[in-house]
A and B are shown apart, each in its own frame.
Chain A
Amino acid sequence: MKSEGVVNNRPLSPHLSIYKPQITSVLSIMHRFSGVFLYLGLFVLSWYIIFSIFNQVPFAECYLGALSAFFGCFLGKVVLFAWNMALFYHFYNGIRHLFWDMGVGFSKPAVVRSGICVIVLTLVSAIVSWFYGFNSLVG
Chain B
Amino acid sequence: MDTALKKVKGLGAAHNGVHHWWLQRITAIGLIPLILWFVITLLSIVSSGDPVIVLLTKKFSVVVFTALLVVALLHSTLGIKVVVEDYIHNKGLKFFILIFANLFSWITGFFLVFALINLYIISLIGS
Chain A residues within 8 Å of B, Cβ to Cβ: 12-14, 32, 35-36, 38-39, 42-43, 45-50, 52-54, 87, 91, 94-95, 97-98, 101, 129, 132-134, 136-137
Going nearest first, the 3 A-B pairs with the smallest beta carbon separation are A133-B46, A53-B115, A39-B76
Can you list 5 pairs linking A and B with CB atoms under 8 Å apart? A43-B104, A48-B52, A49-B115, A49-B116, A53-B115
Given contacts A12-B89, A54-B115, A98-B28, contact A46 B73 (CB under 8 A): yes
Q: Which residue of A lies closest to B84 (CB)?
A: A36
The answer to the question of B35 belonging to the interface, with a C-beta cut-off of 8 Å to chain A, is yes
Name the CB-closest residue of B to A47: B108
B115 touching A50, Cβ below 8 Å = yes
Number of B positions contacting A (CB below 8 A): 34
The residue in chain B whose Cβ has the minimal distance to the Cβ of A97 is B28
- Interface SS of A by simple majority: helix
B86 contacts across to A, CB distance below 8 A:
13-14
CB–CB A49/B52 < 8 A: yes
C-alpha spacing A138/B52, complex, angstroms: 9
Interface of B is mostly: helix
User: Would you call A50 and B47 a contact (CB within 8 A)?
Assistant: no
Residues of chain A within 8 A (CB-CB) of B72 are 42
A-B contact count (CB 8 A): 81
Q: A46 and B80: CB pair below 8 A?
A: no
Q: In the complex, A52→B112 CA distance in Å?
A: 11
Is B35 touching A52 in the complex (CB atoms < 8 A)?
no
Residue in chain B with minimal CB distance to A134: B46
Q: Are B43 and A133 in contact (CB under 8 A)?
A: yes
Which residues of A lie under 8 Å from residue B29 when comparing CB positions? 98
Chain B residue with minimal CB distance to A13?
B86
A94, B28: Cβ atoms closer than 8 Å: yes
With A52-B52, A101-B25 known to touch, is A36 a contact of B83 (CB < 8 Å)? yes
Contacts of B43 in A (CB 8 A): 129, 132-134
What's the nearest-Cβ distance from chain A to residue B47, in Å?
Answer: 6
Do B69 and A53 touch (CB < 8 A)? no
The 8 Å CB contact of A43, one of B46, B56, B108, B115, is: B108
Report chain B residues within 8 Å CB of A48. 52
Q: Which residues of B contact A95 (CB under 8 A)?
A: 32
B53 neighbours in A (Cβ, 8 Å)? 52
Contact indicator A46/B32 (Cβ below 8 Å) = no
CB-nearest residue of chain B to A98: B28
Instruction: Specify which chain B residues have a CB less than 8 angstroms from the CB of A45 in the assembled complex.
Output: 69
